[in-house]
Structure 1
């Protein structure tokens, strides 16, 4: 079975590398294309046997299942390029959140799904978000679920929850990394602790925290209760965080949702220019 990947940018590359390194797919089972061919060729150099197609049409024509790993603004061009070679029995998967499943089903005769990966999938961890289309049968769903189970824990979500689920699973690593970096920087500025030590401490802390939550039978709440004894330093720190973070994450999610709806409208105006709006 041939799995195609159109677009070998950041997330396309992560998927290819994760599937190969996990042993789920052999390089020879993958066929790649990219707007800048050299990018796909560099990836093929790392994994002998991995094939690079002449263009996107070749990927669509020769794959049983292929993944659209392109930016929202590039979708119309790619869909126009491959539309007449896509077949009903194929599975086509978009990893781009503001591209609606129903819109892809209008453009393509294939069985469509949306699966949103996370950078955490690079180490076969975290979630991937699974939004099946109306044409997928049980076998198709199981096939995709099995493929992503090798590099993540797939989670079935309603498309209306794509943005908030992506904020947590996909944007979350960057958000938390930013907070951790600020924490380390503040430690350096307030004391004479070397920055290298501060970064190492928060990084190893995060690694251990993840294991406590996934392997140590702790919940977010029970972990705080275990560390923060009444009257202790951690408890005082938590009170400060609860007070000063306030509406931070509410504001963050409102911002990401506003940008998401803006991106949806742009994509739909591109895919269906004859319609003023399609929501």
Structure 2
């Protein structure tokens, strides 16, 4: 299978790294391109035998499975440019949540899918969120699933759930990292712990926590109950968190949904402009 990646920003680079590290694809089977060619060439220096193409159309001429790793507002002009270049045997994959399957199928004449990766896929772990297009065959689905399973746990997500699922699986590492940094700052501000000590303890704690869940020693609820002793220090800390974070995550999901709707509106307007 020949794989193409259009856009070598954070997500495109993440996918290339994960594909090669997991041996899902060899470098010589991957072609990349980026509007700023230097970024694609830097990735090729990192992975020898990776091919750098000059344009999206060159990618389509050389590959079978194409990841579209561009920003939402770049989709309308990109898809218009490529509309006549697709082959029926190809599979187009968007990694952008505001672009719907219906929009992809309107402008791409071959089977399509959406795959939302996570930064943790670089460590060959975590989830990828998958939404299949209506014209994908069972064989195409199984082949895509097999590729993703080399570096992640693929989970099928419907259109209605994609934003919330993406907030957890893809944006979640940034949200959790923010909370951990606040935990470190709080410890340094109110106790004799140094920044270095607090950061080390926090990092090692979260690494160990990940191992606990990977080994399925506890569920989330079981672990919290195991650590919390009634009337103890952990309980007092949880009470303080409950007071501070009572509606924090509800507000977070509302904010991301509002941005999602805004992005979808801009994408629709972009497609309308391309058609006019």
Which residue is equivalent to 1:111?
A: 111
Give the deviation of 1:192 after TM superposition. Answer: 2.1
The equivalences for 1:1-279 within 5 A come to 1-273=1-273
Deviations 1:99-157, CA, capped at 9 Å, x for gaps: 11111101010100000001111111111000000010101111111111111101001
Q: Greater shift after overlay, 74-83 or 35-44?
A: 74-83
CA apart distance, 1:88: 1.6
Which shifted more, 173-182 or 235-244?
235-244
1:217 deviation in Å? 2.3
Taking structure 2 as the reference length, the TM-score comes to 0.97
Partner Cα separation in structure 2 for residue 191 and residue 81 of structure 1: 58
What is the CA-CA distance between 1:274 and the residue it aligns to?
8.3
Give the 3-state SS of the residue equivalent to 1:217 in structure 2: coil
Instruction: Please give the alpha-carbon distance, in whole angstroms, between the structure 1 residues aligned to 2:61 and 2:76.
Output: 18
Equivalent position SS for 1:96:
coil
Q: Structure 2: how far apart are the matches of 1:96 and 1:169?
A: 14
Q: Is the 8 A contact 2:80 2:274 kept in 1?
A: no
Hey, what's the Cα distance between the residues in 2 that align with 1:138 and 1:53?
Answer: 30
The 1-side partners of 2:33 and 2:83 are apart by 16
CA distance in 1: counterparts of 2:94 and 2:12, whole angstroms? 11
What SS does structure 2 have at the residue aligned with 1:240?
A: helix
Give distance in 1, aligned partners of 2:204 and 2:145.
31
Structure 2 gap segments, 5+ residues each? none
Task: State the 1:79 CA deviation.
Answer: 1.1
For structure 1, the 5+ residue unaligned runs are none
Question: 1:24 deviation in Å?
Answer: 1.4
Q: Offset at 1:76?
A: 1.5
C-alpha separation between the residues in 1 aligned to 2:102 and 2:41?
33
Residue 85 of structure 1 aligns to a residue in which SS? coil
Counterpart contact for 2:76–2:271, Cα < 8 Å: yes
Q: CA deviation at 1:272?
A: 2.6
CA distance in 2, matches of 1:64, 1:274: 26
Between the aligned partners of 1:141 and 1:179, the Cα distance in structure 2 is 37
Normalising by the residue count of structure 1, what TM-score does the alignment of the two structures yield?
A: 0.96
Cα deviation for residue 32 of structure 1 reads 0.5
